Amino acid sequence: MQELISIEPEPQKAYLIGIRDGSMDDAEAQSLARELAGLAETLGVCILDQSIVKIREKHPKYGMGLGKAEEIAERARELGVDCLIFDQDITPSQQRNWEELTGISAIDRQELIIQIFASRARTREAELQIELAQLKHSLPRLTHKYIDLSRQRGGRYGTKGAGETKLELDRRSILRRIHQLEAEIKEVRQHRSTQRKKREKIPIPTCALVGYTNAGKSSLLNAMTNAEVLAEDKLFATLDPTTRRLEIGRGQPVLLTDTVGFIRRLPHDLVDAFHATLEEAALADILLIVLDAADPDVDRHYDTTLGVLKELGAEQTPKIIILNKIDKVSSPERLQELEKQYSDSVSISALNRTGLDTLARRIDLLISGASCRFRFPVNRHDLVAQLHRSGTVLAEHYEETYIEVEARLGQRMLGTLQEWRID
**Residues in the annotated binding site for Mg(2+):** 218, 238
Backbone angles phi, psi at 104, to 5 degrees: -130, 170
Contact (CB, 8 A) for 289 and 322? yes
Angle at 422 between CA 418 and CA 423, to 5 degrees: 100
CA dist., res. 279 & res. 243, Å (int):
13
Q: Per the annotation, where are the binding residues for GTP?
A: 211-218, 236-240, 258-261, 324-327, 349-351
Q: Per the annotation, where are the binding residues?
A: 211-218, 236-240, 258-261, 324-327, 349-351
